[in-house]
Structure 1
Amino acid sequence: MARPTPELIESLRRTAHKLKAGSPYQWGHMGGCNCGNLAQELTKLTRDDIHRYAMQRYGDWNEQVEDYCSTSRLPIDLIISEMLTAGLTIEDLKHLERLDDQSVLNRLPIEERFLKHNVRDDVVRYMTEWADMLEEQLLKRIVLPLPLEAAYV
């Protein structure tokens, strides 16, 4: 599961917001699909640049992350490296492309868990719920020190 970082949480929320507001979405486009839209936010590359870089190797996002090599220096691997540095895992990217991470889906009401991987509103719902889940995990890790006077009561 993703490492909950403020950058990742904010990127998921910004991506969901942009998609909801009508940002280009095309599941079959490597720069405009689920992972592609998040990659735009994390890398600041355009959808066309991401797509062009991905086309230097075969396959969709699932195949690209399966073949990921941190030392290849292929542009798509550099993009994936940046996404991993932001807190994602290879498995997270696979789940995002299919909207099928059970820990995210289980947070939704039962009747809303059957998301379609290529439907904009479902992508927005998934990313929003995922961001909420990561934020909750991050907040649980924060321990505030007691005020000095409370420590001696």
Structure 2
Amino acid sequence: MARPTPELINALRRTALKLQNGATYQWGHMGGCNCGNLAQELTSLNKDDIHRYAMQRYGDWNEQIDDYCPASQMPLDLLINQMITAGLMLEDLKHLEKLDDRQILLRLPLNKRYLKHNIREDVILYMNAWADMLEEQLLQKIQLTDLEAIMAV
């Protein structure tokens, strides 16, 4: 699961808000899909640049992640490196593209747990629930660190 970082939490919330406000969403477009929209926020690249980078190899996000090499200088690998630096794990990207991370889905009401990976409203719901979960983890971590510091005095 992703490391709970302020950068990642904010990017998830900004992405969800932009999608809610009508940002371009096209699941079959590498720069306009679930991962592509989040990548726009984490890298400051636009959807067309992301798509162009992805087209230098074959496959969708899942296949691109399978072929990811951290030492590569391929543009999409550099983009994925930026996303990992922000706190994501490769598995998170695969789950985001399919909206199927069990920890996130369990946070949703029963009638909202069967998300469709290519429906804008489902992506928004998933990203907001994920941001909430990461924020709770971050706050817990901060509280524990603060408590440990107080106990050490």
Q: Which has the larger radius of gyration?
A: 1
Root-mean-square deviation over aligned CA pairs: 1.4
Query: What is the CA-CA distance between 1:145 and the residue it aligns to?
Result: 5.4
Unaligned runs of 5+ in 2: none
**Alignment of 1:97 onto 2:87:** no
Deviations 1:33-72 (A, max 9, x none): 0000000000000000000000000000000001100111
Aligned to 2:64: 64
Identity %: 69
Aligned to 2:123: 123
Aligned to 2:106: 106
CA distance in 1, matches of 2:137, 2:43: 24
> TM-score of the superposition, structure 1-length normalised?
0.94
SS in 2 for 1:121: helix
**Alignment of 1:34 onto 2:37:** no
CA distance in 2, matches of 1:89, 1:142: 21
Aligned to 1:2: 2
Equivalent residue letter for 2:8: L
CA distance in 1, matches of 2:40, 2:123: 15
More helix by share: 2
Aligned to 1:84: 84
Within 5 A, what are the aligned runs for 1:45-56? 45-56=45-56
CA distance in 2, matches of 1:137, 1:46: 30
Equivalent residue letter for 1:117: H
Count of residues in correspondence between the two structures: 148
CA distance in 2, matches of 1:102, 1:93: 14
CA distance in 2, matches of 1:109, 1:42: 28
SS in 2 for 1:68: coil
Equivalent residue letter for 1:125: L
Query: What is the CA-CA distance between 1:140 and the residue it aligns to?
Result: 0.2
Aligned to 1:43: 43
> TM-score of the superposition, structure 2-length normalised?
0.94
SS in 2 for 1:62: helix
Runs of 4+ with deviation above 2 angstroms: 143-146
Deviations 1:9-56 (A, max 9, x none): 000000000000000000000000000000000000000000000000
CA distance in 2, matches of 1:30, 1:110: 30
